[in-house]
Chains A and B, each alone.
Chain A
């Protein structure tokens, strides 16, 4: 199992560590609810250095990215990032990712830790004909997510970059916490604003320490993966492996907005046909009408108790104090406001389909 450059720091803070995607990761420090609320109301820091990073470089870089990703990377100007996915050849999704245009002919792809090897092999296969320069820098780079409504104010003293001026899904390469050439990206997986900071492993301890010094006056706290999951689920963000995978199409998953037929890409002809017909099933959000907590794998049932779908992510929402989840149901059931039931052990608990985000700030 791999460690991040900050594993000892997490252990010294008393974090509960768990194996996740082959990495020894902090799942919680003080408690999920406190950590969740910290990000919603103040500012918290996640070590998400397990995420994978690929550099795609050279005159063929854009051609390769356009071939393997569903969104239109030709729209990216310097300093902009884009959410995208890697379609597979059979209608499903290899991974979801963020594409950054770092230099004219240099792009950074940030992928899920659990998919690093699969993604690398998939992209490499298409690169045989295209011939871009690819580097897997996952083991050399660290990633801190500094998230929450106080993030800008709390971190401004660490950089000469005007943090408030970085728009959502834009980034600046600049100085941060005494380190040069850090990527300061206005992205995140929480819905509460803030930044993601990419730096070298050898630099991340200094960045972490300075972030906590600067954030002390704002009650900054370290946040584990458990709260990362409840935060993303309250926003209805998909998690690869739960809500999307090799068998789910981008259209079923509500990712049509990152699937652009302005170019050819892997399986684009078949996906265009899928788009032309409404998908048979859809990923929906739901809130329980009564007490209970939906979990991944629970059946979604109709009023007669017949199974119509499955929960792909579920939790007790710390912000709303009720059970929320995502799951696939036939499109005829997928209308917002429709009533479904979640089979929780012996009980079919009534639930209402809602359009995420569940948490509306």
Chain B
């Protein structure tokens, strides 16, 4: 199971990469392998400002649909539109071309509440 040490994580199996006041968000290698073949990523919240833990989109595998939760409060400034034609990138490259949104986060203190790679490993028993 690939859990890059430099990323932050959530209990909802998302990863967060902090770069200044922008957080890039996707789902973890564990999450994509549990979901199986991903066929659709729907994000209709670009330009919206959402609180932490609000639903910003959904990821659909052939058999299941899962909500995507804001890891941090803030504005969704970008959706990875390449996923509209290539949702399978979430399976093949969850931490790279499978990224989902960029959030301009509004409360830097929330970053401290995210999980470290070690915390996340413990969560999933990896």
Contacts and interface: CB of A to CB of B under 8 A. Distances in A.
Interface in B22-74: 36-37, 39-40, 42, 44, 58, 60-63, 65
A291 B85 CA distance: 11
A31 B36 contact: yes
Nearest to A229: B63
Q: Which of B39, B42, B62, B84 has the most A CB atoms < 10 Å from its CB?
A: B62
Nearest to B84: A291
A318 B58 contact: no
B40 A291 contact: yes
Q: Which of B40, B84, B91 has the most A CB atoms < 10 Å from its CB?
A: B40
B58 A33 contact: no
A27 B34 CA distance: 11
Contact of B44 (A295, A315, A346): A346
A330 B40 CA distance: 30
Nearest to B91: A31
Interface in A248-292: 291-292
A348 to B, nearest CB: 14
Contacts of A295: 65
B63 A293 contact: no
Contact of B37 (A31, A345, A346): A31
Interface size grouping (class) on chain A: 10 to 19
A293 B61 CA distance: 9
A292 B40 contact: yes
Interface in A41-99: none
Interface of B: 36-37, 39-40, 42, 44, 58, 60-63, 65, 84, 91
Contact of A318 (B40, B60, B62, B65): B62
B54 to A, nearest CB: 14
A158 interface: no
Nearest to B60: A293
Given A32-B63, A226-B63, A295-B65, A316 B40 contact: yes
A31 B36 CA distance: 6
Nearest to B63: A226
A87 B80 CA distance: 51
Nearest to A347: B44
Contact of B63 (A292, A315, A346): A315
20 contacts: A16-B36, A27-B63, A28-B36, A31-B37, A32-B36, A32-B61, A32-B62, A32-B63, A33-B37, A226-B36, A229-B63, A291-B40, A292-B40, A293-B40, A293-B60, A315-B63, A316-B39, A316-B62, A345-B58, A346-B44
Contacts of A345: 42, 58
A46 to B, nearest CB: 16
